[in-house]
Structure 1
Amino acid sequence: MTDVMIKRRKARELALQILFQADVGNLPIEEAIETTLADAVDLDKEICDYAVQLARSIWQRKPDLDSQIQSVTPHWTVERMAAVDRNLIRMALYEMLYVPDVPYRVAINEAVELAKEYGSTESRRFVNGVLGALVRKLNLDKTQRERG
């Protein structure tokens, strides 16, 4: 893994912690950021900056992201999903839609890897399945082939 990939992975982990705190603790995103960063004093500024930007942007677009997620999980509401799973799916979907330098396959792979580490035994499969359905629904495979 390159230095950039390692930093992005750490930033995603930190963003997941922020999102989890805001979601489960029902906290304002700024409070979740402040609390999480207070515990992350050893991380470099670049990692923290990307994590905070990611968490704020995801939280700002949460209603739209959740609507997209809900459209491919008609029998499973976003609220019923495990908190880790729904926040990983939100993060990957956000990166797939709004971060042009992150290919959708990378966003999915990162979410699945983090699900293995932080989720339940079923999280990996669930996260991968929902994100795969979103790729098909949003036709991201065709879109990224045309861009690249």
Structure 2
Amino acid sequence: MTLDVAKPKSSRRRSREFAVQGIYQWLLAGDNVGNIEAFLRESNTSFARADEKLFRAILFGAIKDMKSLQDAIAPHVDRPMDEVSMVEAAVLCVGAYEIISMPETPYPVIINEAIELAKTFGGLDGHKFVNGVLDKLAALVRSEEVSAGRGKRHA
């Protein structure tokens, strides 16, 4: 008999989860990013186990670059962006920000993490949508990496 023990979340996965929550809150309420960060820190006991540097880079960077991220994502979406669920939009923004602004992280890692985030927070098939959009974005933004197949799988 084997026990089904869930693999502990990495600090980087936690950072991405908190970034998705923060971006979702920003998209929903338009609150100040500093207030959002403070709320996430104070309301989650697991925040201390997140990679703070990564969390802040994604949260602040994605919100600062929201317009350009949405412009980069939109051509790969089969409907107007305002019809995309806010959860999927938040996951897409996290993934797009990392693909565009964090070339040190291999694109397959970013896409795999985004798929897991969509499975955690999104609807039934949202992860398929996120995968398709980010695959297309990566092919455009990281064409050399994609064509060379250099992406290594590690978070």
What TM-score does the superposition give when structure 1 sets the normalisation length?
0.85
Q: Is the 2:95–2:110 contact (alpha carbons within 8 Å) kept by the matching residues of 1?
A: yes
SS of the residue corresponding to residue 10 of structure 2 reads: helix
Distance 1:122 1:46, change over 3 A: closer
Is 2:64 aligned against 1:60?
Answer: yes
Residue correspondence of structure 1 range 1-148 to structure 2 within 5 A: 6-44=10-48, 47-73=51-77, 75-138=78-141, 140-143=142-145, 145=148
Give the number of the structure whose alpha-carbon radius of gyration is greater: 2
Give me the whole-angstrom Cα distance separating, in 1, the residues matched to 2:109 and 2:150.
Answer: 16
Q: CA deviation at 1:101?
A: 2.2
Q: Is the 1:65–1:90 contact (alpha carbons within 8 Å) kept by the matching residues of 2?
A: yes
Letter in 1 for 2:114: A
Give me the whole-angstrom Cα distance separating, in 1, the residues matched to 2:139 and 2:99.
Answer: 12
Give the percent of matched residue pairs that are identical in Structure 1 and Structure 2.
24
Q: Is the 2:20–2:90 contact (alpha carbons within 8 Å) kept by the matching residues of 1?
A: yes
Q: Is the 2:91–2:118 contact (alpha carbons within 8 Å) kept by the matching residues of 1?
A: yes
Q: Is the 1:37–1:48 contact (alpha carbons within 8 Å) kept by the matching residues of 2?
A: no
Q: CA deviation at 1:141?
A: 4.2
Higher helix share: 1
**More deviation in 61-70 or 30-39?**
30-39
Give me the whole-angstrom Cα distance separating, in 1, the residues matched to 2:149 and 2:90.
Answer: 29
Q: Is the 1:66–1:90 contact (alpha carbons within 8 Å) kept by the matching residues of 2?
A: yes
Q: How many residues align?
A: 144
Q: Is the 2:14–2:49 contact (alpha carbons within 8 Å) kept by the matching residues of 1?
A: no
What TM-score does the superposition give when structure 2 sets the normalisation length?
0.82
